[in-house]
C-alpha cells in the first residue's frame, strides 16, 4: 500500500512539472519586430538567417486619412546561398504592438553579402510606427553550373507520378513498369549527374 501511494505521488508530481513547463512561454528566435532604426532579419525555411532589411524611408507618420503608400528599404543577403529571386513581407507596428501597415518587397538576383535597394508599392501605413519586421516568403536559390536543385534541397521522401488519375509510387534508380495503351513501358527516375 505504501509503495502504491509513493508511486501515485510521484506520478502527480511528474504531471505537475510537465503542466507547468507546458505553460511557460518559449522565446521566439524567429522574425521579431525591431525598432525602426535597427536592421530586421528574416529566416529561410531551415530557420537560419537569410535576409536583413534596413529602412531608407524615415518619414513614416501615416494616419487613417493619409497613409504612407510607399517606402524604400535595403535588403541584404546574409545567408549562405545566392538568390535569383527573393521576396517577402514587411510589417509595421505602432507603440501598442498593433499592426498598422503591411506590404510586399521583392529583389532579383541577390548574391551572398550583397545589398539591394527596393520599395514596397501598395503598402498603406496608417499610424506612426515604432517597430517593424520582415519575413522572407520566397527565396529562389541561384544554381551554378555544377549544382543541381536536387543537391540543394532535401531529398523528397515520397514521390508519386499520376497518369490519368492513376497514382504510382516512384523510387529513385528503381525501374517502374507501366502499361500505356497496349504496350508496357519501363521508366527509371535518376538524379542528374
| 92 dihedral zone (left: phi>0; alpha: psi -120 to 50; beta) | beta
pTM, entire model: 0.60
Kindly report the CATH class assigned to 34-141: mainly beta
Q: Which residue has the cell 517597430?
A: 131
Q: Quick one: which H or E segment has residue 106? A: strand 99-110
The three cell numbers locating residue 170: 516512384
**Hey, which of 28-42, 106-120, 147-161 has the most confident mean pLDDT?**
106-120
Distance between CA atoms of residues 100 and 71, nearest Å: 14
Q: Where are the alpha helices (DSSP H) in the chain?
A: 2-23, 149-152
Distance between CA atoms of residues 11 and 123, nearest Å: 54
Mean pLDDT of 165-180: 74
Mean pLDDT of 133-153: 72
| Residue 4 φ/ψ, nearest 5 degrees | -65, -45
| Residue 35 φ/ψ, nearest 5 degrees | -60, 155
Where does the chain hold its CATH 2.60.40 domain(s)? 34-141
Task: List pLDDT tens digits, range 74-97.
Answer: 999 998 889 999 999 999 999 999
* Cα dihedral 121→127→129→133 (10° resolution): -40
Distance between CA atoms of residues 91 and 133, nearest Å: 5
- Are 53 and 134 within 8 A, CB to CB? yes
Amino acid at each position: 500500500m505504501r509503495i502504491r501511494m509513493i508511486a501515485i505521488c510521484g506520478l502527480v508530481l511528474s504531471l505537475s512539472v510537465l503542466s507547468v513547463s507546458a505553460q511557460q512561454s518559449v522565446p521566439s528566435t524567429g522574425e521579431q519586430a525591431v525598432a525602426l532604426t535597427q536592421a530586421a532579419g528574416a529566416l529561410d525555411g531551415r530557420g537560419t538567417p537569410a535576409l536583413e532589411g534596413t529602412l531608407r524611408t524615415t518619414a513614416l507618420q501615416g494616419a487613417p486619412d493619409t497613409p504612407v503608400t510607399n517606402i524604400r528599404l535595403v535588403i541584404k543577403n546574409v545567408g549562405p546561398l545566392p538568390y535569383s529571386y527573393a521576396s517577402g513581407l514587411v510589417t509595421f507596428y505602432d507603440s501598442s504592438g498593433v499592426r498598422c501597415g503591411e506590404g510586399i518587397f521583392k529583389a532579383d538576383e541577390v548574391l551572398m553579402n550583397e545589398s539591394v535597394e527596393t520599395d514596397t508599392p501598395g503598402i498603406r501605413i496608417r499610424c506612426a510606427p515604432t517597430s517593424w519586421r520582415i519575413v522572407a516568403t520566397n527565396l529562389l536559390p541561384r544554381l551554378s553550373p555544377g549544382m543541381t536543385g536536387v543537391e540543394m534541397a532535401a531529398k523528397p521522401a515520397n514521390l508519386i507520378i499520376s497518369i490519368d488519375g492513376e497514382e504510382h509510387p516512384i523510387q529513385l534508380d528503381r525501374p517502374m513498369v507501366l502499361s500505356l495503351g497496349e504496350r508496357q513501358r519501363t521508366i527509371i527516375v535518376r538524379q542528374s549527374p
